[in-house]
Amino acid sequence: MSTPEGPRRVRVTSPRTSAARRPIMPTGTREIDEQTRLGQVYMQSLIQSQLRLTLAVIGSVVLVLGSIPMLFWLVPPTRTLSVLGLPLPWVILGILVYPVVYVAARIYVRNAERIETEFTEFVGRQ
């Protein structure tokens, strides 16, 4: 008994299977993940940028808020001046301090996000 043979199977492959593969270039994220020296440099750069921003914002806030006692000391009439029936020191310390802190926080967050976005784009390109 002979069995009829069906169509013969053919294996189809890409003509590029025998071509040399491109070497995989290490990316910045891979350098960071593998904790190589270059990855450490990337992370130190990010941390230093964030530290500079933090110190600049804190320094600005301390300078602005620290100048309030100097204002009262150097200009004595400000100690007794009233605004809308409230003493000026109360107005400054009880009301005007909060917008200064809020603006400083907004500036910090916006710039921190910008630094992180730039870092992510840079590391992704590497």
Q: Is residue 17 part of a domain?
A: no
Instruction: Give yes or no for a contact between 53 and 108, defined as CB atoms under 8 angstroms apart.
Output: yes
Q: Is residue 1 part of a domain?
A: no
pLDDT on residue 52: 97
Q: Is residue 22 part of a domain?
A: no
Q: Is residue 19 part of a domain?
A: no
Boundaries of domain holding 39: 29-125
pLDDT on residue 4: 66
The count of domains in the chain is 1
Q: Specify the residue for token string 């964030």.
A: 50
pLDDT on residue 39: 82
Q: Is residue 11 part of a domain?
A: no
113, with CB counted inside 10 A (0-12, 13-18, 19+), is exposed
Q: Is residue 5 part of a domain?
A: no
pLDDT in tens, 103-124: 999 999 999 999 999 998 888 7
pLDDT in tens, 36-89: 888 888 889 999 999 999 999 999 999 999 999 999 899 999 888 888 888 888
Is 17 a residue whose pLDDT tops 80? Answer: no
Question: Quick one: pLDDT band at residue 3, thresholds 50, 70, 90?
Answer: low
pLDDT on residue 25: 57
